Amino acid sequence: MKIFVLGGDGFCGWPVSLALSAKGHDVWIIDNLCRRRIDRELGSQSLTPIRPLDERLRVWREVSGREIGWVNFDIVRDYTALKRLLQLEKPDAIVHLAEQRSVPYSMTSIEHRRATLDGNVGGTHNILAALVETGVDAHLVHLSSIGVYGYETLGYRVPDGHVKVSIQSSQGAAEREILHPANPVSIYHLSKAMDQLVLEYYSKNEGVRISDLLQGTVWGTQTPETALDERLVNRFDYDAVYGTVLNRFILQATLGQPLTVYGSGGQTRAFIHITDTVRCIELALANAPSRGDKMVILNQVAETQRVMDLALLVGRTLGGTKINFLENPREEPESNELQVSNAGFSALGFRAKTLGEELMCETKDIVARYAFRCDKSHIFAAA
């Protein structure tokens, strides 16, 4: 297949691009390098050294013998370029990862809120509109977040996207199937919830073939392809804005620093390893809906864990480190229960990797190798 990976220079996009190329697909990265510009804006950098994208692609050609194309433009601001590229290349599939992915970044200021909402929703709509206008019948795989459903305790296992409801009326009960109700707690999650409505509209009314993947927090760094050469290494973000809680814990434990837990640590979140992110996207591409089919919604989740249990697990696995409890800078429930079904992906053959000693030590090895690059002023404020 010819596959466009939008946002192919990013944390998820880069390993996805390499894995698809390794399997023989004709891969094109569309990326305007905005994630690198955000690093400069924040005064931070990946713990792992990220080479320029043209160098990354050259190294991939050297080690694999395969070519990945790269086109540099902004899918939000340059609709004409997007439409022209679709017309010229006619991809079989598009993996859409070109969205601002940080909750803290989306809430930093009014300007960051506007940029996140305008960019994420505007970019998604531009892709859909361009597919309709050009008539290109590409399968669109969109990466979303399980956080669109919020973090309140629901008391049931969140299903894959659509739910059946009964609505009472004067004529009796009416049965309908609707999108699972959204309950976003940040502008980032709001943008993903709005994406889903836009995607549903184009699936239902324009016949666009769409898979929407609602992902948990991604952990880990390397995949088999990114590990082939140090110059292909994937990102490891640990700062207050883009770093995730597990990355922070592993880095703190490796450096012999206390693990910082916000609030009681009773917040439950969904997790998935980066290699499973790649695998799920491959499965979604291999199981595309037919034209006119209902939009496919799949929960891309391996497991759920309480933050406190995560800290204890890291402490046991990587060495008994002290845990410091800090005031939670986020407005969120002090604790919650989260149950998520991944029945859709399981039916496609997905078998998840869960948090354990082997994978965690593998991540620690990466952290230890590049610990000298750590700016310790960035590792205590993430959530």
Mean pLDDT for each 10-residue chunk of the chain (383 residues)? Answer: 98 98 98 96 95 98 98 98 98 98 95 97 98 98 96 91 88 88 96 98 98 95 96 94 90 89 90 96 98 96 94 86 81 83 96 86 90 84 40
Neighbours of 14 (CB within 10 A): 28
DSSP state string for 139-200: EEEEEEEGGGG-SS--SSEE-SSEEEEEEEETTEEEEEEEEPPP---SHHHHHHHHHHHHHH
Cα distance between the two ends of the chain:
39
> What pLDDT is attached to residue 237?
94
- Decide: helix, strand or coil at residue 277: helix
Distance CA 43, CA 239 (A): 10
The residue assigned the tokens 């140090």 is: 230
Please report how the helices 187-206 and 110-134 are oriented relative to each other, as an axis angle in degrees rounded to 10. Answer: 10
> What pLDDT is attached to residue 380?
58
Distance CA 335, CA 151 (A): 9
Q: Which domains does the chain have, with CATH numbers?
A: 2-237+271-303+334-353 (3.40.50.720)
Cβ-based neighbours of 266, under 8 Å, separated by 6 or more: 306, 307, 308, 334, 335, 336
> What pLDDT is attached to residue 320?
65
> What pLDDT is attached to residue 336?
87
